[in-house]
Amino acid sequence: MRETKFDAVVVGAGAGGCCAAARLAAARRKVLLIDDHDYLGGRAGTEIIDGHLVNLGAIALERGGVFEETFSLVGAELDIREPKPGAVFCLDGKIVDVSKGGWGMLLGGLTKQAAKVLDQFAKAKSGSLPDGRQSTEDWLRGYTRNETVHAIFRNLCASIFAMNADEIPARAFLTYFTSKGAFKRFGFHPRGTMAAWQALADGVVRKGGEVWLNAPATRIEVENGEVVAVHVERSGENLRIAAETVVTNCGPRATVALAGAEHFSADYVGQTRERLKPAANIVYNFASREPLTTAPGIMTFGKTRRLCNMANLTATCPELAPEGWHQYVAYAVPRPALGDFDGEAEVEEGLEDLREQFPGFETRAKMLSIRVMRDDWPAQRTGAGYDMDQATGIEGLWCVGDAVKVYGNGGTQACAETARIVVDRILNGERQGVANA
C-alpha cells in the first residue's frame, strides 16, 4: 500500500466539505479533499440532461455571511445572480410579492390574528422562544386556525428544512427566521450549483492543496483515540493518507462506519442511531417552451398536497437551458418527511399539484428528472433541531455538514457555518480527548 501525508484530509466534497477544505487551505494547511463521485457538490451537484444544466438538490446560494466569506478566503468568485424579487408567494393562482411588506403584508391579508402571530416573531427576536418540544404547527395553531396561513407555514418549513410543520420544533423555525440568514439575499449560479463548488476547489488547489474525485475513503484509521490516517481507493490503487486532522462531510453515521464503532463512545454511537432524523424531499426538474410563470425567483405555494415551492431558474440564468427553453425546479416534501413513506405515491401527489397549479402541465412541460432524496441520500442528513455536535470524541476527527448544524439553521449557509466552526476549533488547538477513556 502506497503512503503519503497531508496536514488534513476532508472526506466528502459537499457544501460543508468544500468550505472546510477552503478554510483549512486558507490557513496554510496542506489539504486533501476527496469524494467518491466524479463531480463536486454531493447532494448539491449538477448534471447535464438533454443540454440542460440540472441541479441535483440545492439551487439557492446565499449572499453575505460565512458562505460568501469562505469564497473570499481563497480568492474564489461567488458567481450568482439574484432574482428580483427573490421570493414571492402563489396563493390561489395569484402572485404575492412581499419584498416590501414582509410578514405583516402577507399575514395581514389572510387572518385577523396576524398581529398575534407577528407579536410572537417579535418576542422570538428578543430571545423569548418556545421550548424545543412544541412543533411549529402546534405553536401556530395557538394563534390562528386559518387554513391558508397553516399551508404557507407548512410549505416554508418544507422549502427550507425539508420537514413538515408538525415535524420541526417551533423553536428551530423561529430561530431561523429571527436570528439566522433566512435567505434574505440569494441567487442562482449561471453554470449550475456545482460551479460554485468548483470555484472553491480551485481555490484549495491554488493554496497548495489537492482535490481527488472518484476516490472513496474506505477506512479512517484510529489509534489510541486519535485519528492517524485515511485509506483511499484511487484509480484501482489503495492509498494510506497519513493526517493528524480528518474532517468528514458524510455525516456522523458514515463516519462511525468508516472509523469503526469501537473507537467512539457508546453515547456518540447511540446518538447516530437515535438522535439523527434524516429529512426527505422530492425534486422535479422540468422545462417548457412557453413560460409557466412570470415570477423570476422562488415561489412558495399556499394550499397544496405536497408541493412547497418552485424556482424559475432561466429568468435570471438563461445559460442553464438550451436556447428557447425555460427551466424550473420544484420541490415537494412527503408525509412524513422524517419517516418511511411510499415514494411512488408521494411523487404522484407532487405531480398532481403541478397539474393543478399549471393547467395543461403535462403537455406544456418536459420533465427532465424526478429525484427522491431519502435514506442514505436525503435532503438533510438530519432535520433542524435534531443535530449532533461537530466533535466526534476522537482526537483530530471532526464532522461538518447538515447533520451537525447550529440549532435552527438551514441551507448551504448552515453547512458553511459548520465548516467555519470546525476549522476555528482546529486552529485554536481544541482537543477532544480519548472517547473511550
Do 119 and 252 belong together in one domain?
no
| Structure confidence at residue 111 as a pLDDT band (50, 70, 90) | confident
Query: End-to-end CA distance of the chain, in Å?
Result: 31
Cα(293)–Cα(95) distance, rounded to whole angstroms? 9
Do 199 and 163 belong together in one domain?
no
pLDDT in tens, 253-270: 999 999 999 999 999 999
- Cis peptide before 83, with omega less than 30 degrees from 0? no
Write down the pLDDT at residue 351. Answer: 98
User: Quick one: which H or E segment has residue 367?
Assistant: strand 365-373
Domain presence at residue 420: yes
pLDDT in tens, 342-383: 999 999 999 999 999 999 999 999 999 999 999 999 999 999
Nearest one of 97, 68, 29, 36 to 249, comparing CA atoms: 36
Q: Tell me the C-alpha to C-alpha distance, in Å, between residue 254 and each of 114, 219, 251.
A: 44, 10, 6
Do 394 and 271 belong together in one domain?
yes
Domain presence at residue 284: no
Write down the pLDDT at residue 436. Answer: 39
Write down the pLDDT at residue 106. Answer: 81
Residue 312 has pLDDT above 90, yes or no: yes
Query: Average pLDDT over the chain, rounded to whole?
Result: 94
pLDDT in tens, 131-189: 889 999 999 999 999 999 999 999 999 999 999 999 999 999 999 988 765 667 899 99
Give pTM, 2 decimals: 0.95
Domain presence at residue 295: no
pLDDT in tens, 315-348: 999 999 999 999 999 999 999 999 999 999 999 9
Residue 83 has pLDDT above 50, yes or no: yes
Show which of 148, 178, 208 is a domain's final residue. 178
Write down the pLDDT at residue 181. Answer: 59
Listed in order, strand segments (DSSP E) in 151-297 are 186-187, 210-212, 217-223, 226-234, 237-242, 245-248, 281-288
Do 196 and 146 belong together in one domain?
no
Q: Which of 69-83, 84-98, 99-113 is predicted with the least confidence, judged by mean pLDDT?
A: 99-113
CATH number for the domain spanning 115: value is 3.90.660.50
Domain presence at residue 298: no
Q: What is the DSSP string of 173-188?
A: HHHHHHHS-TTSSEEB
CATH number for the domain spanning 70: value is 3.50.50.60
Show which of 150, 178, 206 is a domain's final residue. 178
Show which of 147, 178, 209 is a domain's final residue. 178
Do 131 and 252 belong together in one domain?
no
Report the number of distinct structural domains present in the chain. 2
Residues 49, 159, 149, CA angle at the centre, nearest 5°? 140
Write down the pLDDT at residue 136. Answer: 97
Write down the pLDDT at residue 121. Answer: 86
Do 11 and 157 belong together in one domain?
no
Domain presence at residue 315: no
Do 17 and 39 belong together in one domain?
yes
Domain presence at residue 52: no
Residue 237 contacts residue 388 (beta carbons within 8 Å): no
Give the domain range for residue 141: 102-178
Write down the pLDDT at residue 100. Answer: 75
Listed in order, strand segments (DSSP E) in 7-97 are 8-11, 31-34, 46-49, 52-55, 61-62, 87-91, 94-97
Residue 297 has pLDDT above 80, yes or no: yes
Do 266 and 400 belong together in one domain?
yes
Nearest one of 1, 6, 30, 9 to 250, comparing CA atoms: 9
Do 197 and 173 belong together in one domain?
no
Domain presence at residue 88: no
Residue 435 has pLDDT above 60, yes or no: no
Domain presence at residue 355: no
